Structure 1
C-alpha cells in the first residue's frame, strides 16, 4: 500500500499515515483464536482504539482489507470522515461473486519461463499484463507480502465459510454520507466490479466509482496514473469537508 499511497502525500501534505499489518498477512502472526473475519475485525477495532482513541480518521483498504475497512466503518460511522475501497469484495463467499472471464492482455512466455513456480503462479493469477515491466513492479510491491503471509491460516480460515462478516455490512440501516472512492478493475476475475456497482453505490451517496480497463485485481500497480489521479481527488474531497 505504501508504494501506491505515499506519492499522494507529496502533493497533499499534513496527513498522518498508519499502515496496518493484518494478522496472518505479513509479519503479524495469526493467533490460534483467530478463526474468522469477525475475529480479525475485533483486532482492528482494538487497534484503532489503541492508536487513535476517540478520534476521527480516514480509511483506505484494498481487496480483503477493504472488507475490514467497511467493518470498521460500520462500527465507527460517526468517526470515519472518508473511505477508499480498492478492488473491494462484497460480504459474500467467493462462489457467490459475479466475475468477468479471466483475460490476459499480454503474455511474455520468455519471462514466465524464468520465474520459479510459486511467484509465477501468484503473478499470473493477480495480474493481466504478464510482461517484464509489470513483473518488476509485482516483485517489488506485491510478492514480499505474498511470501510472508501465513497461507495455512488464510486457506483454513477463509475457505471454510468464515470469510464473510457476521454483520450484514452490505445492507446498513442508512447510507454513509462521506467522501468515498471505489476503484475496480474491468478484468478483475477475483472480486469483479458488477457486484460492487450494484451494491455499494447505493450505500455511499458521495462516491466516485471507477471501473478501470486494462487491469485486474492489482489496479494501483497496473494503472498507476489513473489510481493516483482519482485517489488524489478523493483526498482533496476529504480535506475540504
Structure 2
C-alpha cells in the first residue's frame, strides 16, 4: 500500500528516514518520502505559498500517484496537520494515519503547550558544538545527549539548514486551514495512531486528544522524557507504536 510521508515546517523528508527500517520490515507499505515545496529538493511554490497552497500541492501529488486507490499517511508536526487535511480530502481512500507530534491547531496561540524542559543534558557535548548547532539542537531537544545529537545531526539538521527562508516567510503569512480538520464533521474509521512527547512545547501533547471526535480508532501514546522530536529522542518506543499501527493497517488488506 502506498504510504505518504509528510515532514514538518523548517525540515525535509530526512527527518522521517529513521523510521524506514521498521516500515520496510513490516512489508506493508510502498514508501513515498515527500519534500514539501520550499524544503529539501522541492522548489518553492510560485504563488502565495501558504498552508492552503501546500495542501493543494500535496493533494495533487498524492492523486497523481494513487488516483482513487487506497493509501496511508504518516505525518510529523505540520505534516501531521496536512495529513489530517488529506484524510478529509481522500476520505474514501485513506486506510490509516500515523502522526508524530502533530499540529492540531495551526495558530500556535491556540495550542495547549507545556513549558520547555530538559530531562538530561551532556554539558561537555553542548560545549563542543558550534553556536549554530547548539542553538538548533537545544531549541527543541529534551534529551541533550550524544546519541540524541548524532540522530539529530544526521536526520534533522540537514533539513533545517537547507530550508528556503523566503518560502518559510510566505508560509508564515498564510499558516491556516479553514476550517481546521478538528472542526469538521465525519469520522475516519481506520487506524490512527499518535505519538507525542510529554515536554513538546511546539505542538504540545494535549490537543491531539481532541481528535477523538474525528477518528473512531484512535490510539495516543504520550511519551515521557521526550519533546517535539519524539521519534529522535525515544526511537524504540515510537518504533514499537509504528509496528503495532502497521499490523492494524495490514489486517485491512486481508481478504474478508
Scaled by the length of structure 1, the TM-score of the pair is 0.94
Task: Give how far 1:2 is off.
Answer: 4.5
Task: Give how far 1:119 is off.
Answer: 2.2
Shift in CA distance, 189/14, structure 1 to aligned 2, threshold 3 Å: closer
Task: Give how far 1:153 is off.
Answer: 2.0
Shift in CA distance, 238/120, structure 1 to aligned 2, threshold 3 Å: same
CA contact (8 A) 1:66 1:86 kept: yes
CA distance in 2, matches of 1:47, 1:213: 36
CA distance in 2, matches of 1:222, 1:163: 27
Shift in CA distance, 10/40, structure 1 to aligned 2, threshold 3 Å: closer
CA contact (8 A) 1:91 1:169 kept: no
Scaled by the length of structure 2, the TM-score of the pair is 0.88
CA distance in 2, matches of 1:35, 1:212: 33
- Counting matched residue pairs gives 238
Structure 1 match to 2:226: 215
CA distance in 2, matches of 1:84, 1:34: 29
Structure 1 match to 2:6: none
Task: Give how far 1:14 is off.
Answer: 4.2
Structure 1 match to 2:250: 239
Structure 2 stretches lacking a partner, 5+ long: 1-14
Matched, 1:72 2:86: yes
The residue correspondences of 1:103-118 to structure 2 (distance < 5 A) are: 103-118=117-132
CA contact (8 A) 2:81 2:103 kept: yes
Task: Give how far 1:95 is off.
Answer: 1.7
CA contact (8 A) 2:192 2:218 kept: yes
Task: Give how far 1:115 is off.
Answer: 1.7
CA distance in 1, matches of 2:197, 2:43: 30
Structure 2 match to 1:203: 214
CA contact (8 A) 1:34 1:40 kept: no
Matched, 1:97 2:111: yes
CA contact (8 A) 2:118 2:143 kept: yes
Structure 1 match to 2:201: 189
CA contact (8 A) 2:28 2:250 kept: no
Query: What SS does the aligned partner of 2:98 have?
Result: strand
Structure 1 stretches lacking a partner, 5+ long: none
CA contact (8 A) 1:191 1:217 kept: yes
The counterpart of 2:190, out of the listed 178, 203, 208, is: 178
Query: What SS does the aligned partner of 1:103 have?
Result: coil
Matched, 1:60 2:74: yes
CA distance in 1, matches of 2:223, 2:16: 21
CA distance in 1, matches of 2:16, 2:183: 31
Query: What SS does the aligned partner of 2:31 have?
Result: coil
Matched, 1:138 2:149: no
Query: What SS does the aligned partner of 1:25 have?
Result: coil
Matched, 1:128 2:142: yes
Matched, 1:6 2:6: no
CA distance in 1, matches of 2:79, 2:35: 10
